[in-house]
A and B are shown apart, each in its own frame.
Chain A
Amino acid sequence: MKILDEGEGELVGWHDPDENREWILQNKSPALVDKRMDITEAVSKFVRDGDVLAMGGFGHIRVSFAGIYEMIRQKKRELTVLGKTAVHDMDLLIGGGCVSKVEAAYSFGHELRGLSSCGRRAVESGQVKVVAEISNGGFQWRFLGGMMGVPFIPTRVMLGSDTFRKSSAKIIEDPFSGKPICLLPSCNPDVVFIHVPRCDRFGNCQIDGIMIEDFELARAARRLIVTTEEVIYNEVIRDHPDQTKIPGFIVDAVVEVKYGAHPTLMPDLYYFDEEVIGEWLDKSKTEEGTQEWMDTYVHGVANFQEYLELVGGEAKMKYLYDVEHYEAELKAPWLEKKKK
């Protein structure tokens, strides 16, 4: 096979498929073990300094913020974060001092809400290094490769671009068509958090709405922490096996944390909390503001429940339920500024 070109980016999260098989043999088991624990235990047990971390969900959608806040609280350090469209989560982890490297598909921005001061400051000052570029489609195919147990996935993205030049991919001559094809290295992240609406105590998960790339990411993960709105009976799972999106045998921890994706959107349950996101966007414009925000919302509370009370409790969640169902108007500080 002829290699035509090689990206200069750092190869992150790649493992020889045989090495990964061995890791699975040594560390995973389909035994029916009750995996319920609290977020403090899950994070201290399964997240190590220096890990390659990916958060399930996408952007501000269905991201395990219970996991994000706890990693910051426990002062996890030197993480390599996969910016598979990681924005608010990435921003907070950077603000919390947890991140040293990023592989970026989409980060340091908040879509319509604007660019991220905290993430940009860190990259522009050199505090955080972008070690490789990739595309969103490319990232999820890296996880597909990791899930499939193969070393790479051939694709037709990134060809001809500088995104490829700064990626960890390679271009070869396709032995069938003779045309250039981009090989994306597979990725098995050290640790992944996925927030779901329902799962049983063994980790069998049902997910409503779009899957984004969580089907592939869950199966590619070495350590998988599931945070869930509620824990349901195993019988419910077995009565509706077609609803299972993540099988429990690949899950390491089940953490029941209602509203655990706040301030991001949870399909059918709650919309983005734009007031909380907006306050972060304002405060994080300065280092001091960032620290202040962390002291109030992360270090100043003992757990997720206390945080939730601080941001408005059940009344706020009822309002966000109504916005999700088109029954209340969206309030967003960044939107008010846009209108002026």
Chain B
Amino acid sequence: MSEAESEETPYYTPTHLMAVAASRVLEDNKSVFVGTGLPMIAAMFAQRTHAPNLLIIFEAGAVGPQMRMLPISVGDSRTCYKAIAASSMHDNMSFAQAGWLDYGFLGGAQVDKYGNLNTTYIGGTWDKPKVRLPGSGGANDVGSNCRGTIIIMRQEAQKFVDKVTFITTPGYLDGPGARERAGLPSGSGPIKVISQLGIYGFDEETKLMKLESIHPGITIDQIRENTSFDLIIPDDVPETTPPTPQGVALLRELDPTGMAIGK
């Protein structure tokens, strides 16, 4: 890439690309457990493009909405717009535990090579934390029981770590078979990690994080600099397809105030 090209302002931002990339993982006629922010936008975007019959579930009780505007919270009335049911947490958490949920979205302050997530504390000890974070919320439930989880988070060396300081939400724990040994449902676990630099999957055999595609304008060196563990990087890594201008317009329509997608 020449310098002139890199200085051009593209019509989309890294946040737009992350939202659209996340939406592409969601297939039509599947179900997804959705959290606040980009996951909501990704699910709404999928419904309005390639997955009109995507079943959206929220922990606070909404089932199957066709949202017209981005909710602020997972319990916001906007999560019930054109929903098929306004139910309860017991109902929706049970759906996940019983095996009705294909996908679940997760985020975190730290992720490690096995996709374990920390949203509890950073630095110090649990008793005396340097920075106290909110805790699990519904994340542990989603990460335990949805079939495939999609992690969306910003990538930095301090955030993509070898081992998280606290496993708030289980990924593949310490490797192949560990989830099943712990008693978690078989065949569940993280399937994607989407950052502002690239998209990652998990190696089938080792359950280690693996680069799957690299965003336009990003180099392998940048990916390495922002990862604190030995990432699997295949020889041929394709480039992530950027969002279309129509896609960006749709994102802005769904989130007119820029709450999740920014400008």
Contacts and interface: CB of A to CB of B under 8 A. Distances in A.
Interface of A: 57-62, 83, 85, 87, 104-109, 111-113, 115, 119-120, 123-124, 126, 130, 133-138, 140-141, 144, 155-163, 166, 171, 174, 179-182, 209-216, 265, 267-268, 271-272, 274, 324, 326, 329-330, 332, 335, 338-339
B183 A105 contact: no
Given A111-B72, A137-B89, A161-B169, 16 more contacts: A58-B60, A58-B75, A59-B60, A59-B73, A111-B36, A112-B73, A138-B136, A156-B183, A157-B93, A158-B144, A162-B120, A209-B77, A211-B89, A213-B90, A271-B77, A274-B72
B183 A159 contact: yes
Interface stretch (B148-156, B238-246, B252-260): B252-260
B88 A326 contact: no
19 contacts: A58-B89, A61-B60, A106-B136, A106-B138, A107-B134, A107-B135, A123-B132, A137-B59, A138-B140, A156-B185, A157-B144, A157-B145, A161-B144, A162-B120, A163-B120, A265-B73, A265-B75, A272-B72, A335-B258
Contacts of A329: 257
Contacts of B187: none
A137 B141 contact: yes
A130 B128 CA distance: 9
Contact of B72 (A58, A105, A112, A180): A112
Contacts of B185: 156
B202 to A, nearest CB: 16
A157 B80 contact: no
A109 B74 CA distance: 14
A226 B143 CA distance: 34
Contacts of B72: 60, 111-113, 272, 274
Nearest to B98: A156
A211 B61 contact: yes
A104 B133 CA distance: 10
B226 interface: no
Interface in B218-239: none
